[in-house]
């Protein structure tokens, strides 16, 4: 478990993110330690998903004029991530830089986003072969291990369109893990599922959390899962952190009125 | 009506039929290559890539094929000093460029229709932009292009008759020529041509249907016409 002396794996330093006139993240700063499991909660539009999308480089931070002085930079493993160094100065990262760095991060999406043109096995091997440079045999062996972990070893020859949502999502988890990321981002991974399929997906994630030291950032409305798995819960509203703490404290005695209101509304569902 | 005269002159259709088929096939091949090149370029986020392709597409879509045929056959040799040994090359190029410009919009549209989530997943797996296109986007966009490309291929078949304006003898022109001869019935000859075009169009259509079915099978979707069967689940994240 994380100790206070370790260098943070992820650091947001006064990060702004705007979409046009809409400011989604406002001078946001926080750190995540290696191996830490963090759950992000908050009303929709509070910026939680944007944080994951910035970490997956699907969005870019809104640049500041002087990043050395004013921040606005995401750091990963002590090195700039949203930015890169150019002639001793931090400038917004280009695609080459991102390609070098983003392999440390993997993501599972709300809508699974499996590749429909590839069967299950190839969904899990494709990036291993083309990006990680593994041999086909090595990639397949790893894929089979992971598909076994998520309980879908017998579905390797199926197209995603033949699977239920829950099965697709479990394949998506295997696909993300196959790239051996240090950080796994989970973006409302059960929100698109029928209620009876949620439990299987959460069981797989509990399994992953229990058996690996992977760092997890999780946006979810599954408070039971958040309580079981996370080391820390962060409550967001308006692109800022309202309150954060260990799950027991956050769920049983939240200090802020907005957190209390939010939890009341979610738990009443 | 003199059917016998028509039947006796049928062998004369042989060579012009080859011209019609050849011009259609060659310009379709050129059009397909151009369609992908221009479609990928017009889908680019870079203005320097997108702009020239857009200008090219709009120019060829916005000007008449007949004028383009004349231009490649007669004006280009004078203006640019480029002369084709065979006028048929001018015909193939004019039709190929024209239909390539039209079909590039089909390619661009199909690429744009691939769900954003597919691109995001391929970024998350750290595929290069080229790998994203080759492994994820094009294999999903291709089955969507086929029906529209099929329609354009059939239009191109019929437009191949336009090569007669630069003096290339195809089946349409031949029908008119023979029909004028004594003892021949022009209407019957045009009826022959009608049937030939229909058969050729049907062949194209059948081929494209088979191609489409194969392509859709590659997405795990059964593309046979539904008979008492529910529509197959849409592949991309459709099944919940």
* pLDDT tens column, A65-108: 999 999 999 999 999 999 999 999 999 999 999 999 999 999 99
Smallest CA–CA separation between B213 and chain A, in Å? 14
Report which of residues A251 and B238 the model is more confident about.
A251
Number of CB atoms found within 10 A of residue B67's CB: 12
Residue A3 lies in a domain: no
Stretch (H or E) spanning A106: strand A105-108
The answer to whether position A1 is within a domain reads no
Q: Please provide the DSSP assignment of B142-171 as one string.
A: HHHHHHHHHHHHHHHHHHGGGGGGGT---H
Q: What is the mean pLDDT of residues A128-138?
A: 96
Is the Cβ–Cβ distance between B136 and A115 less than 8 Å? Answer: yes
* Inter-chain contacts counted by CB atoms under 8 A, chains A and B: 98
Name, in order, each residue with C-beta under 8 angstroms of A174's C-beta and a sequence gap of 6 or more: A124, A143, A146, A147, A149, A150, A152
Cβ within 8 Å, pair A106-B235: no
**A168 in contact with B, Cβ within 8 Å:** yes
Query: If we measure between CA atoms, which residue out of B198, B187, B123 comes closest to residue B157?
Result: B198
Which tokens is A211 given?
């058996």
In a domain, A137, yes or no: yes
Closest partner residue to A106 (CB to CB) among B124, B136, B237 is: B124
**Mean pLDDT confidence for B196-218:** 93
pLDDT of residue B136 exceeding 50, the answer is yes
Using CA coordinates, name the residue in chain A closest to B240. Answer: A165
Which region holds residue A190: left if phi is over 0, alpha if psi is between -120 and 50, else beta?
A: alpha
Res. B237: pLDDT tops 50: no
Per the CB < 8 Å rule, is A113 touching B131?
A: no
Looking at chain A, which residue has its C-alpha nearest residue B119?
A113
Distance from CA of B124 to the nearest CA of A (A): 6
Q: Where are the alpha helices (DSSP H) in B9-137?
A: 14-42, 47-62, 65-70, 76-79, 87-112, 116-124, 129-131
Q: List C-alpha distances in Å: B213 to A180, A184, B74, B208.
A: 37, 38, 43, 9
Which residues from chain A sit within 8 angstroms of residue B136, using beta carbons? 115, 117
Tell me whether A163 touches chain B (CB under 8 Å): yes
- Under the banding of pLDDT at 50, 70 and 90, the label for residue B137 is very high
pLDDT at residue number B222: 65
**Contact between chains at B237 and A113 (C-beta distance less than 8 A):** yes
B-chain CB neighbours of A160 within 8 Å are 220, 235, 239
Cβ atoms within 10 Å, residue B24: 23
Q: Under an 8 Å CB criterion, which residues of B touch A?
A: 115, 117-118, 120-129, 131, 135-136, 139-140, 218-221, 232-240
Write down the pLDDT at residue A71: 94
Closest by Cα among A59, A76, A46 to A243: A46
Comparing A68-72, B6-10, B40-44, which segment has the lowest mean pLDDT?
A: B6-10
Residues in chain B with CB shorter than 8 Å from the CB of A164 are 239
Q: 3-state DSSP call for residue B75?
A: helix
The pLDDT tens digits for A36-49 are: 999 999 998 899 99
Nearest to A29 by CA among A16, A43, A48, A42: A16
Q: Rounded to an integer, what distance in angstroms lies between the CA atom of residue A253 and that of residue A238?
A: 22
Query: Is the CB of A155 inside 8 Å of chain B's CB atoms?
Result: no
- B120, B126, B217: best mutation site toward chain A, by most A Cβ within 10 Å? B126
- b/e per residue A130-157 (b: at least 16 CB within 10 A): bbbebeeeebbebbbebbebbbbeebbe
Instruction: Over range A154-166, report the average pLDDT.
Output: 94
Task: Supply φ then ψ for residue B181, to 5 degrees.
Answer: -70, 155
Contact with chain B for residue A60, Cβ under 8 A: no
Q: Is residue A139 part of a domain?
A: yes
Q: For position B239, what pLDDT does the model report?
A: 40
Planar angle of CA A184, A189, A190, nearest 5 degrees: 145
Which domains, from first to last, does chain B contain? 3-112+125-217 (1.10.3720.10)
> With 80 as the cut, is the pLDDT of residue B157 above it?
yes
Predicted local confidence at residue B233, as pLDDT? 43
Alpha carbons A46 and A37: distance in angstroms, whole number = 20
d(C-alpha A67, C-alpha A81), whole Å: 13
Residues of chain A contacting B231 with CB distance shorter than 8 Å: none
* Residue B235 pLDDT grade (very low, low, confident, very high; cuts 50, 70, 90): very low
> Do B239 and A158 make contact, defined as CB atoms within 8 angstroms?
no
pLDDT tens digits, B99-119: 999 999 999 999 999 999 999
**Residue A162 touches chain B, beta carbons under 8 Å:** yes
> What tokens does A227 get?
């309580």
Q: Is the dihedral of CA A123, A126, A127, A132 positive or negative?
A: positive
What integer pLDDT is reported at residue B76 of this predicted model?
Answer: 84
- Contact between B117 and A99 using a beta-carbon 8 Å cutoff: no
Q: Which pLDDT band, with edges at 50, 70 and 90, does B9 fall under?
A: confident
Nearest chain B CA: its distance from A208 CA (Å):
19
Q: In what order do the strands lie in the sheet with A37-41?
A: A105-108, A183-187, A215-219, A37-41, A232-237, A240-245
Residue A239: inside a domain: yes
A102 touching B, CB under 8 A? yes
CB contact under 8 A, B121 and A99: no
- Domain of residue A45 covers 10-267
Cβ-defined contact of A102 to B218 (cutoff 8 Å): no
B199-237 burial by CB neighbour count: b if 16+ within 10 A, else e?
ebbeebeeebeeebbebbebbbbebeeeeeeeebbebbb
Q: In which region does residue A226 sit, left (phi positive, over 0), alpha (psi from -120 to 50) or beta (all else)?
A: alpha
**Contact criterion met (CB below 8 Å) for B95 and B156:** yes
pTM for the model: 0.86
Q: Note whether A129 contacts B: Cβ–Cβ < 8 A.
A: no
Residues B11-28, mean pLDDT to the nearest whole number = 94
- Phi then psi for residue A268, to 5 deg, are -75, -15
Q: Is residue A4 part of a domain?
A: no
The verdict on a CB contact (< 8 Å) between A168 and B237 is yes
How far is the C-alpha of A4 from the C-alpha of A217, rounded, in Å?
Answer: 19
A157 in any annotated domain: yes
pLDDT above 50 for B238: no
Residue A211 domain-assigned? yes
The chain-wide mean pLDDT, for chain B, equals: 89
Confidence of residue B224 (pLDDT cuts 50, 70, 90): low
Task: Note the pLDDT of residue A266.
Answer: 87
Q: What is the mean pLDDT of residues B169-189?
A: 90
Q: How many CA atoms lie within 13 A of B96 on its CB side?
A: 21
B60 and B68 in contact (C-beta within 8 Å)? yes
Average pLDDT, chain A: 93
CB contact under 8 A, A117 and B218: yes
**How far apart, in Å, are the Cα atoms of B206 and each of A62, B175, B219?**
52, 26, 20
Quote the pLDDT of residue A115: 97
Whether residue A100 lies within 8 A of chain B, CB to CB, comes out as: no
Between helix B171-180 and helix B14-42 the angle, nearest 10°, is: 150
CATH number of the domain encompassing residue A249: 3.40.50.300
For the stretch A211-265, pLDDT in tens is 999 999 999 989 999 999 999 999 999 999 999 999 999 999 999 999 999 999 9
Confidence band of B121 (pLDDT split at 50, 70, 90)? very high
């Amino acid at each position: 478990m994380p100790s206070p002396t370790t260098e943070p794996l992820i650091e947001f330093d006064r990060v702004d993110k705007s979409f046009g006139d809409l400011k989604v993240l406002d001078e946001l700063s926080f750190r995540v330690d290696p191996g830490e499991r963090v759950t992000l909660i908050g009303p929709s539009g509070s910026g939680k998903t944007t944080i994951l999308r910035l970490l997956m480089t699907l969005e870019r931070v809104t640049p500041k004029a002087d990043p050395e002085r004013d921040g606005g930079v995401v750091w990963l493993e002590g090195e700039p991530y949203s930015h890169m160094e150019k002639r001793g100065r931090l400038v917004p990262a280009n695609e080459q830089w991102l390609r070098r760095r983003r392999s440390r991060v993997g993501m599972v999406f709300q809508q699974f986003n499996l590749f429909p043109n590839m069967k299950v096995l190839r969904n899990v091997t494709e990036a291993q072969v083309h990006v990680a440079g593994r041999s086909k045999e090595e990639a397949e062996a790893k894929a089979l291990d992971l598909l076994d972990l998520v309980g879908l070893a017998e579905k390797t020859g199926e197209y995603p369109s033949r699977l239920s949502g829950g099965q697709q999502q479990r394949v998506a988890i295997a696909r993300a893990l196959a790239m051996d990321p240090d950080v796994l981002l989970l973006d409302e991974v059960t929100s698109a599922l029928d209620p009876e399929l949620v439990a299987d997906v959460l069981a797989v994630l509990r399994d992953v959390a229990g058996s690996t030291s992977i760092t997890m950032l999780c946006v979810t409305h599954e408070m039971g899962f958040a309580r079981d798995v996370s080391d820390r819960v962060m409550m967001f509203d308006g692109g800022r952190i309202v309150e954060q703490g260990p799950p027991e404290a956050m769920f049983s005695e939240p200090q802020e009125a907005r957190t209390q209101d939010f939890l009341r509304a979610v738990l009443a569902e | 009506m003199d059917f016998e005269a028509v039947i006796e002159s049928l062998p004369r259709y042989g060579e012009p039929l080859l011209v019609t088929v050849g011009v259609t096939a060659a310009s379709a091949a050129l059009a397909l290559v151009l369609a992908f090149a221009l479609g990928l370029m017009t889908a680019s986020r870079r203005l320097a890539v997108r702009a020239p392709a857009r200008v090219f597409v709009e120019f060829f879509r916005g000007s008449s094929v007949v004028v383009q045929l004349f231009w490649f056959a007669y004006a280009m040799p004078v203006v640019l000093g480029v002369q084709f040994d065979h006028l048929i090359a001018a015909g193939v190029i004019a039709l190929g460029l024209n239909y390539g410009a039209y079909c590039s919009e089909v390619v661009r549209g199909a690429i744009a229709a691939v769900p954003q989530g597919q691109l995001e997943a391929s970024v998350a797996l750290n595929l290069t932009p080229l790998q994203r296109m080759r492994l994820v986007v094009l294999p999903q966009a291709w089955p969507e292009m086929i029906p529209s490309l099929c329609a354009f291929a059939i239009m191109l078949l019929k437009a191949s008759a336009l090569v007669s304006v630069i003096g290339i003898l195809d089946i349409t022109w031949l029908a008119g020529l023979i029909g004028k001869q004594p003892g021949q019935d022009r209407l019957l000859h045009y009826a022959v041509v009608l049937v030939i075009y229909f058969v050729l169009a049907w062949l194209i259509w059948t081929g494209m249907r088979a191609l489409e079915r194969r392509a859709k099978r590659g997405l795990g979707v059964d593309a046979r016409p539904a008979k008492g069967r529910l529509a197959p689940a849409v592949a991309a994240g459709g099944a919940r």
